[in-house]
Amino acid sequence: MNYFRHIDNYKEIFFIPPGEYSLHSSKEILSHSLGATLYINPLKENLFNNILVQKKLGANTIIICLEDAVSDSNVAIAEKNLIETFIEIETKLSKDEISLEDLPLLFIRVRNVNQFDFCLKNCPKSALCGFVFPKFTSSIGEMYFSKLEKYNLENSAHLYGMPILESYEILYKEYRFNELIRIRDILKKYNSYVLNIRIGGTDLCGILGIRRGIGDTIYDVVSISDCISDIINIFKTQGFVISGVVHEYYDIHNIDVLSGLIKEVHLDIINGLTGKVVIHPKQVNIVNSLYVVTYEDYIDAKKIVDSSSNGVLKSNFNNKMNEVKPHLIWAKNILLRAKIMGVLNNGFTYKDILSRSSQL
């Protein structure tokens, strides 16, 4: 699969088109390929068809959520629908009625360790990329990843886990540092199975009784911004990929909503986050388009990486200095993102992608 095949005049926009990747790509590629990660409710009618439709509209990563999206009274129904959907996927794959290329990267967000056990035992997994572990803390983290490792080793599989950091132990400063260090040590132990670290912005806000407004970003909420900063500081320095929090507002025809989402994604990128949780299909193409590398960033990054010196290089665009040593990691990250998301032609922006999207 790759990004943006659903839009018109695909090739004229890109200097370098988005690259191909698949369920079986390397961890490095997959961890940077999640893009706009769409949550889907397992109680939806005809879940299988909905997954296919969203993939055609640009959602290359989908999480089927058994946690917050499902009330306690509907858990059994949701589990049944989930299992039946993956059985249907497995059947259609075996009959060559669909291929893995027709499907997005699929994840299951479980409610707890017991439900994780249930899914490992009962859910067909040939099209599954991994699981999402909510309310992830040091007290339960080892259980999740030890079970995941055990399943993978016993079944010659390679399912991934994505923890969500969203508990009070992570929010409250008096606990945060020690808790993040403990979680970091668990994730380092199971590093080969950790695809991405996610941040539960809504839950963290909820602990404090805070909700950002329509045009606000999560970074305007100083207590949450402070928390995100510490998560980046502790985990990104260890090579973990971290994604941006969900943006709750999705009426993108409201200029305040649209500008708030765009600003938040820009701030995600500036702060080194990769990809973003989305709760509505209308958010997908906006988020993904903002992760496409600009022509200027690509040329600067390539010049830095290709440089044989350790000094300062003048940008080809005569507007900045490129310093090889401090900018080298940034440049390598840009080239990796370019490999996956593509590079815009000179003079093109994310708006050119959105204007050609049938979803807007």
pLDDT single digits (tens) 200-235: 999 999 999 999 999 999 999 999 999 999 999 999
Q: Are residues 266 and 318 in the same domain?
A: no
Range of the domain at 178: 19-291
Binding residues: 203
Taking the C-alpha atoms of residue 145 and residue 163, their distance in angstroms, rounded to an integer, is 10
Q: Are residues 204 and 304 in the same domain?
A: no
Cα 132 to Cα 77, 171, 226, 331, 338, distances in angstroms: 20, 20, 24, 30, 26
Q: Is residue 12 part of a domain?
A: no
Q: Is residue 121 part of a domain?
A: yes
Q: Are residues 206 and 318 in the same domain?
A: no
Binding residues for Mg(2+): 203
Across the chain, what does the average pLDDT equal? 95
Longest pairwise C-alpha distance within the chain: 63
Q: Are residues 277 and 359 in the same domain?
A: no
Q: Is residue 110 part of a domain?
A: yes
Selection from 237, 320, 252, 323 nearest residue 289 by Cα: 252
Q: Are residues 255 and 278 in the same domain?
A: yes
Termini Cα distance of the chain: 22
Q: Is residue 271 part of a domain?
A: yes
Residue range 231-259, pLDDT digits in tens: 999 999 999 999 999 999 999 999 999 99
Q: Are residues 31 and 106 in the same domain?
A: yes
Q: Are residues 38 and 92 in the same domain?
A: yes
Q: Is residue 319 part of a domain?
A: yes
Mean pLDDT confidence for 45-60:
95
Residues β-bridged to residue 61: 37, 105
Task: Count how many domains the chain has.
Answer: 2
Q: Is residue 346 part of a domain?
A: yes
Task: Report which residue type is found at 200.
Answer: G
Taking the C-alpha atoms of residue 248 and residue 330, their distance in angstroms, rounded to an integer, is 29
For the chain, give percent helix, strand, coil, nearest 5: 50, 15, 35
Q: Are residues 91 and 133 in the same domain?
A: yes
- Write the CATH number for 112: 3.20.20.60
Q: Is residue 54 part of a domain?
A: yes
Q: Are residues 244 and 327 in the same domain?
A: no
Mean pLDDT confidence for 109-137:
97
Q: Are residues 283 and 341 in the same domain?
A: no
Which structure tokens are listed for 316? 């080809």
pLDDT band at 69 (very low <50, low <70, confident <90, very high): confident
Domain finish residue from 263, 291, 319: 291
pLDDT exceeds 70 at position 199 = yes
Q: Are residues 148 and 88 in the same domain?
A: yes
pLDDT computed for residue 109 by the predictor: 98
Domain finish residue from 230, 261, 291: 291
Q: Is residue 145 part of a domain?
A: yes
